Amino acid sequence: MGRDAKLVVLGQGYVGLPLAVRAAEVGYRVVGVDPDEGRVRRLRAGQSYVEDVAAARLEEAARAGRYAVSTDPDDAAGFDVAVITVPTPLRDGAPDLSFVETATRALAAHVRPGCLVVLESTTYPGTTEELVRPLLEAGSGLRAGRDFSLGYSPERIDPGNTAWGLVDTPKVVAGVDPTSLAAVQAFFSSVVARTVPVSSCRAAELTKLLENTFRHVNIALVNEIAMLAHGLDIDVWEVLDAAATKPFGFMRFTPGPGVGGHCLPIDPSYLSWRVKRTTGRDFRFVELANEINAHMPDYVVQRAALALNRRRLAVNGSRVLLLGLAYKRDVGDVRESPAVRVAELLHGLGAEVRAVDPHVDRAWSHPDLLRAELDAAEVAAADLVLVLVAHRALDVALLEPARAKVLDVCRDDRLEGVERL
């Protein structure tokens, strides 16, 4: 299968768009399919809403005739390779694979001998073979492994990470049989620097969940230590700095207002759900980590209330300025963001909540807060400033005259002399 092959990427979000543009750059004829008409309009206009894809790259791929975008899944017709990168959210504590099902059914009508289908969406072990495979075979009349190739390769996108991007991050690959594995590996070897084959799709699916569960559990650990250290009157950041000097046996994780995004609040629960459903056992590490991380916004609000109380102010009626709404630094993604939960809790206690985030689309709004711009007047008018995300685009020098009313939850290293988590 040559690089001039037709690639269809279903889903043009933080995972699908970088893959689509990279594949176009190395010579594939790419069609990005996304049901969001607003997204499609922006992409056709050369506007990127993903920080890892510069508008210039998007425009060049389109100008070269290598990238097109559509809301119509029938534009997948004639594909050689199709990659499914749609969301897999939780609904009432259980995996919602409706987007995967819809995408797979749409593809099934266009599956033909010799083509390759890859699932990238994060999910529980068994999804590729137990859900995707039967739908493709039923809709096409063909058999995976015999007539077409089918595999799984978990996404490892870390939005805003300038050290490790799509090309440089090793790609785990798997197939439903040896022929499929070879096809999956050949495709991804053409777009990334290194592939890591594993023996089965189930192993690849579990690999992704292990990676994010590892992060989730360790973030919960340092979040709990941060709360305990405050109660012991110890600077948790000093402790973390000291521990990080150990050259072995320690990996640094940092506390904050909680976890957010498309992975950490969701993926470990996929594994916990699957373990419980299959073995009847509870995955206690995940459940405890969920409990700790989910309650970090409550702890942040508690600390905010204490900070106001020291100045003889109540939360009710106070004006609180939040710096950062996204779930992590230098991105605009507000999915599952703990900062939004902090805003909701403060609003529920009667605070006037205003928020600054230069990365989050101005069209995004929330009934419990007002969007604002960071300037001297806004800082002066606030009774408390909560630094929730250390965006580099925020001019934190404006906080210098107001250091006494700043609570830095994420340790922005540009701030000195302020209260920290």
pLDDT tens per residue, range 130-175: 999 999 999 999 999 999 999 999 999 888 888 899 999 999 999 9
CATH dotted code for 200-294: 3.40.50.720
Q: Say if CB 53 and CB 38 are below 8 A apart.
A: no
Task: Report the C-alpha gap between 226 and 229 in whole angstroms.
Answer: 5
**Can 200-294 and 295-421 be said to share one CATH topology?**
yes
Q: Which pLDDT score, from 0 to 100, does residue 217 have?
A: 93
- Considering the entire predicted model, what is its pTM? 0.90
> Which are the catalytic amino acids?
263
Tokens for 126, please give them. Answer: 């068994």
Please write the tens of the pLDDT for every residue from 372-415: 999 999 999 999 999 999 999 999 999 999 999 999 999 999 99
Laid out side by side, the sheet with 352-356 consists of 370-371, 352-356, 319-323, 384-387, 406-408, 419-420
Query: Per CATH, the architecture of 6-199 is what?
Result: 3-Layer(aba) Sandwich (3.40)
Superfamily of domain 295-421: NAD(P)-binding Rossmann-like Domain (3.40.50.720)
- pLDDT of 312 higher than 70: yes
The residue-averaged pLDDT of 208-232 equals 94
Structure tokens at 316: 């009710």
124: Cα separation from own chain's centroid: 17
What share of the chain in percent tops pLDDT 90?
A: 84
pLDDT of residue 38: 93
Provide the pLDDT for residue 264. Answer: 66
Predicted pLDDT at 271: 77
Average pLDDT, the chain: 94
Domain ranges (residues) in the chain: 6-199, 200-294, 295-421
Q: What's the confidence (pLDDT) of residue 92? A: 78
In this prediction, residue 272 carries a pLDDT of 81
